[in-house]
Chains A and B, each alone.
Chain A
Amino acid sequence: MTTNDSSAEMRAELVALLPRLRRFARNLTRNPHDADDVVQTALERALSRSSQWHSDARLDSWMFKIIRNAWIDVVRARGRHDRLFAPEEAGAAVGESSIEREADLLSVQAAMARLAEEQRVAVSLVLIEGLPYKEAADVLDIPIGTLTSRLARGREALQAMLGPEVEA
């Protein structure tokens, strides 16, 4: 009974959270297909471990962490695959031209996509998903000071790419 209750409660919460989970996963993976695959993996893991979640804990933080770990697994597996099969392709997307940056201010999404991953994830958790610093640091398994420094650098880089907002 208790198990069924918590599982049913969790499913309901997950349905409500799903849009945010997908949004976070898209910011994390920068690819909508990867994002939904990772969310699916994370949902499977969460449902199989529903007993580990207590309803007084934040389900969003717990899920963000599971999503991030699922993504790390994917990246590691691909890294092995890429080393074996596509050694020359790595790095093609790395580095951005300063000419391009000067030519045109970027959309918010394009600017986010260019942030270093650790900054992008910190910005995504705190500024987009609205987690307190402490929760975001827990999701990433880093000290809060590391989180705030990534967040500050991410913000600075975004401001530089975006420029002041032009009122429409």
Chain B
Amino acid sequence: MNYSEETLMAFADGELDAALRAEIEAAIASDLQLALRVAAHKNLRERLQRAYAGELKSEPPQRLLDMLAAPSATAGAPGVQSAPGVPSAPGADSNVIALDSRRSKKAARTGTPRRWAALAASLVIGVTAGYVGFEITARAPIAAKQGVLVADAALGRSLTHSPAGEGSAAGPKIGISYRSKSGDLCRSFTESAFAGIACRDGDDWRIRMLTQRDAADASQYRAAASELPPAIRAAIDADIAGEPLDAAAEREALERGWR
């Protein structure tokens, strides 16, 4: 059988319809020359991909990252800073920093200092764009780990071990537990002046969103889900797959260590 090079190329690229594909598969089985020609096409593709895979690791220049990190000119309420991928909360009026969309997680995981610097820079840009000062202080219950913001040790312990609504009086309190659309297990939390969402990632809890509660809010705040800051509620609404975990599902997740 005589197939054109273009046909064999399309076969190697998976572009043929099922009938022709089956025909060529059958022909390959009994025709070594045909098999070699197809293999050459596949091999060239793999060779190109290998040769160019390294380019994906080169760090994008800051000017390009800045273009994508800067809040959009059409962004909503001042004081709301939303990183890419997490919808701005409608009408949210607190200082909110949304972090670590599912897609940027991949990028962040390849963790280089410059990526971390870019994330930090976008935080600072967001902060200064807000009309209320938002200080990232040592008191925020977060830590940086390989370029990703994660819950610090105390908050991490609460997220891993505390049922919703519990937590020591002074320490973190857990609000809602849910599974996100990207399949992560996430929990909302409040801790002194902060409220946020963290999602399980291996042994860590990635901070997906962090917001500063104002003093009045914080003093009257209780851990009930209905009292979560509006921005957090909106983010959960946008992110949740189905319903929040009920008590039984949460207990099971606690026992499994949120794996």
Contacts and interface: CB of A to CB of B under 8 A. Distances in A.
B15 A132 contact: yes
A53 interface: no
Interface string A19-45: 110110011000000001001100110
Query: Secondary structure of the B side of the interface?
Result: helix
Contacts, number: 129
A23 B52 contact: yes
Interface residues of A, number: 47
Given A16-B106, A18-B60, A148 B74 contact: no
A37 to B, nearest CB: 10
Contacts of A158: 44, 48
A105 interface: no
A15 B52 CA distance: 19
A3 interface: yes
Contacts of A133: 10, 13, 15
Contacts of B128: none
A148 B76 contact: no
Nearest to A26: B55
Nearest to B103: A16
Interface in A124-151: 126-128, 132-133, 148-149, 151
B68 A11 contact: yes
A127 B49 contact: yes
Contacts of B9: 148, 151-152, 155
Contacts of A116: none
B85 interface: yes
A13 interface: yes
Contact of A127 (B44, B60, B85, B104): B44
Given A4-B88, A12-B101, A40-B63, A148 B48 contact: no
B47 A22 contact: no
A73 interface: no
Interface string B23-58: 000000000000000001101110111011001111
Interface residues of B, number: 45
Contact of B84 (A15, A27, A162, A165): A15
Contacts of B90: 1
B188 interface: no
B237 interface: no
A82 interface: no
Contacts of B15: 132-133
Contacts of A3: 74
A150 to B, nearest CB: 11
Most buried by A among B58, B67, B74: B67
A148 B75 contact: no
List the 10 closest pairs (A to B, CB-CB), nearest first: A12-B85, A12-B84, A108-B51, A11-B84, A19-B56, A16-B103, A23-B55, A12-B101, A5-B87, A152-B6
Given A4-B87, A8-B72, A162-B47, 14 more contacts: A4-B74, A4-B76, A8-B83, A8-B86, A8-B88, A12-B101, A13-B103, A15-B69, A19-B56, A40-B63, A109-B51, A109-B52, A155-B9, A158-B44
14 contacts: A1-B76, A8-B83, A9-B87, A15-B65, A18-B60, A18-B64, A23-B52, A26-B55, A40-B64, A40-B67, A128-B49, A152-B5, A155-B41, A156-B5
Interface of A: 1, 3-5, 7-16, 18-20, 22-23, 26-27, 36, 39-40, 43-44, 47, 107-109, 112, 123, 126-128, 132-133, 148-149, 151-152, 155-156, 158-159, 162, 165
